[in-house]
């Protein structure tokens, strides 16, 4: 039983990495460089992996190769606030302009191609349809259909695992606590990155970030709810 985790360096994918390490015998990670406005999230990745190895030796033994793929081509087909210096706003269709159309379809398909070559059986992603963003490529139905398409197109069965699909942000913190105790919560709080503006000046109770962009807002509320539930 082996897995490839879509690992961005954010809160959700780090929780997914812990989830995978608690279940599978061998785990590899994959990240995508698509010219994110701020490289901060990508820079967090190696630090988080090093902390997993140092602080959770049982998990560290299972943690294999890390892959980073260049997806700069995404810049050529989309114009979004994730990769351009424009203000983050809600569009007419209700999606924030940080939305990159079909991004998760590409991510999972490329992950499957790599997993095929590496002989890995499960693909793990932090997609979630509970929170506000409503990205159509995060929906469970979308990913179930993609799992089938990959099976038909590659003639090999990969299980697409999305352990956060039904969880809200507070429940994701709770999951981290269950998997790795206070040490993992603290690692996620201080080492992962969510802020769209790439702000990592000084830590808030919920971690680093500007505190006002949609990603920070979601992260702060989730952490506050988690603390309330724990109290
Ligand atoms: Zn922010």
Distance 150 CA to ligand 1 centre (A): 34
Distance 198 CA to ligand 1 centre (A): 7
Q: How far is CA 32 from CA 19, 71, 98, 108, in A?
A: 20, 6, 16, 11
pLDDT digit string (tens) for 190-223?
Answer: 999 989 888 998 899 999 999 998 889 989 999 9
Distance 207 CA to ligand 1 centre (A): 11
The predicted model scores a pTM of 0.92
What are the structural domains of the chain?
2-194 (3.40.50.620)
Given a cut of 90, whether residue 99 has pLDDT beyond it is: no
| pLDDT confidence bin for 82, thresholds 50/70/90 | low
Q: Which residues contact 192 (CB under 8 A, 6 or more apart)?
A: 9, 10, 11, 14, 44, 48, 207
Distance 172 CA to ligand 1 centre (A): 19
More confident residue, 201 or 86: 201
CA distance 170 to 222: 4
CA distance 197 to 200: 9
Given a cut of 70, whether residue 32 has pLDDT beyond it is: yes
Relative to beta strand 2-6, strand 159-161 is: unpaired
Distance 8 CA to ligand 1 centre (A): 16
Residue range 129-145: mean pLDDT, rounded = 83
Element (H, E) at 31: strand 26-33
Distance 21 CA to ligand 1 centre (A): 29
Distance 214 CA to ligand 1 centre (A): 7
Distance 175 CA to ligand 1 centre (A): 23
pLDDT digit string (tens) for 177-197?
Answer: 999 999 999 999 999 998 988
Distance 137 CA to ligand 1 centre (A): 22
């Amino acid at each position: 039983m082996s897995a490839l985790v879509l690992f961005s360096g954010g809160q959700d994918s780090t929780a997914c990495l812990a989830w995978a390490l608690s279940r599978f015998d061998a785990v590899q990670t994959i990240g995508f460089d698509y010219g994110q406005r701020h490289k901060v999230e990508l820079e967090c990745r190696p630090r988080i992996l090093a902390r997993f190895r140092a602080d959770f030796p049982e998990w560290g033994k299972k943690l294999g190769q890390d892959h980073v793929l260049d997806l700069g081509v995404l810049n050529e087909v989309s114009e979004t606030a994730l990769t351009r210096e424009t203000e983050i706003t809600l569009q007419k269709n209700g999606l924030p302009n940080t939305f990159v159309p079909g991004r998760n379809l590409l991510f999972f398909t490329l992950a499957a191609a790599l997993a095929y070559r590496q002989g890995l059986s499960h693909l793990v992603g932090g997609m979630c349809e509970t929170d506000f963003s409503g990205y159509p490529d995060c929906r469970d139905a979308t990913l179930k259909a993609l799992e089938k398409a990959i099976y038909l197109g590659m003639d090999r069965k990969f299980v697409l695992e999305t352990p956060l699909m039904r969880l809200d942000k507070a429940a994701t913190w709770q999951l981290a606590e269950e998997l790795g105790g206070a040490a993992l919560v603290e690692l996620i709080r201080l080492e992962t990155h969510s802020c769209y503006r790439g702000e990592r000046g000084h830590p808030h109770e919920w971690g680093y970030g500007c505190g006002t962009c949609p990603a920070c807002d979601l992260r702060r509320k989730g952490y506050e709810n988690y603390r309330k539930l724990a109290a």
